[in-house]
Structure 1
């Protein structure tokens, strides 16, 4: 450990220059957006021979000091810590990701999110889902209200014993025709993303699932190497060897997908130039059959 974790290092990592004293919605929105524009959603550790842990100091060193990204159990755990250190009223929640293969939600909490209460209103923050399902700002915890963001219209639905996050997006417009029928291209304009309850969770709630996600042969994260980063106009993604740059064109009702395959000897360069990631260990890209769309 190189000294104690501190907020200033995190703020520098995401380029946040606002006041730490204003615990208001505007500050939360800025923190949220700066995080997703600066820190990738990625599971590359799984394919570099590295173990992912729920140790906050290890996560801080990886993401903040080593300019890496992480998956939700790292990014949202770190983001929750930041909010608590600043003085926000926040708690962690667990959510169950929608599985298109089974047309239902996963049976266990595989995704970590945070709830924040400001002036009596609750908001859901999620800085680590990636690709076109990534929130750029917190969502107010109200049922049935369209909350438009760059990627499309998100809404939260109160189902009584749980909540559901869903999104209505735009049609994909694939520039490179050889990728027009790629399994990565999402053809569903409206889709559920995950469900969650408001039961507070602690880090230990996710220990077993963290181990399973990086070791189970049926896990999405053992079957695909994924790295994505939001940009001011959309996002970038590297899934296996397929690199995509997606530009949101709401005025045309489309998302423009520019996709190409990257040879092995250019993977490190793409990670460095497009995601600001320099890996310590050699990445073994993986793109086996498992349902995943941009």
Structure 2
């Protein structure tokens, strides 16, 4: 990994050292410039949990990825800068079934700074844009919404996001502080790419945080949210999809 090359990819400028302000700026820069996307799955391009291959895809080829790629790559950057960081697994909540996925179905990070621990996640789509401190405070105000982090027992922590329409906090995922290695997610990564039950195989998506909201493209819609106001544009064919992908996300699949 070439740190400056990675920083250029996320358009980060400023101090490069292991402190909280830098962590916040790095996380925001990453979310604003590296999209959450599953396009390779629909192109039948196999995703391997290999640090160099992920770096090459995201940094050198100007692509995005899903959680294992995004958080796996960000982990490497933070390590090279000097942060004390660990990979953790998380169980994602499925509202329709009111159940949680297996422990390695999502990857996130824990960063330890000045005696405090922060949840960091650049790979969960429409989620937090700043680190969440794990401590006595449960409610966290973020530019992307209201979040709640609670310890449910001796090992597990629950992250919830406030749904303004229904006026309730909705579970996002459960995690533990047990550290993992990148290859521990291999089986889950295979499942997400191959299973018809995986939501990654059911619909193409590319989504990116913006300074005023978010923009997302699926195989049938282009969705823009600006200051809470959402507009949708239908996508009629693959050519239109690829043109929007190039224009809005600077991604070319050729």
Shorter chain as normaliser: what TM range?
Answer: over 0.9
Q: SS of the counterpart of 2:52?
A: helix
User: What is the number of residues matched between the two proteins?
Assistant: 252
Unpaired runs of at least 5, structure 1 = 172-186, 249-254, 281-294
Match of 1:229 among 205, 208, 214: 208
Normalised by the length of structure 2, the TM-score is 0.96
Match of 1:39 among 34, 48, 62: 34
Match of 1:153 among 129, 137, 146: 146
Q: Tell me, in whole angstroms, the C-alpha distance in 1 between the residues paired with 2:14 and 2:70.
A: 20
Over 6 Å off, 4+ runs: none
Q: Tell me, in whole angstroms, the C-alpha distance in 2 between the residues paired with 1:168 and 1:237.
A: 20
Tell me, yes or no, if structure 1 residue 165 matches structure 2 residue 140: no
Q: SS of the counterpart of 2:15?
A: coil
Question: CA 1:210 to 1:100, structure 2 compared with 1: closer, same or farther past 3 Å?
Answer: same
Tell me, yes or no, if structure 1 residue 100 matches structure 2 residue 91: no
Equivalent residue, structure 2, for 1:18:
14
Equivalent residue, structure 1, for 2:245:
271
Q: Tell me, in whole angstroms, the C-alpha distance in 1 between the residues paired with 2:136 and 2:246.
A: 41
Question: CA 1:69 to 1:188, structure 2 compared with 1: closer, same or farther past 3 Å?
Answer: farther
Tell me, yes or no, if structure 1 residue 261 matches structure 2 residue 234: yes
Equivalent residue, structure 1, for 2:131:
138
Deviations 1:93-122 (A, max 9, x none): 000100112102113321111100110000
Q: Is the 8 A contact 2:36 2:123 kept in 1?
A: yes
Q: Tell me, in whole angstroms, the C-alpha distance in 1 between the residues paired with 2:226 and 2:163.
A: 13
Q: SS of the counterpart of 1:238?
A: strand
Structure 1 stretch 32-41 or stretch 269-278: which is displaced more?
269-278
Root-mean-square deviation over aligned CA pairs? 1.3
Q: Is the 8 A contact 2:128 2:145 kept in 1?
A: no
Please list, as runs of the form range in 1=range in 2, the aligned pairs for 1:170-209 lying within 5 A after superposition: 170-171=164-165, 189-209=168-188
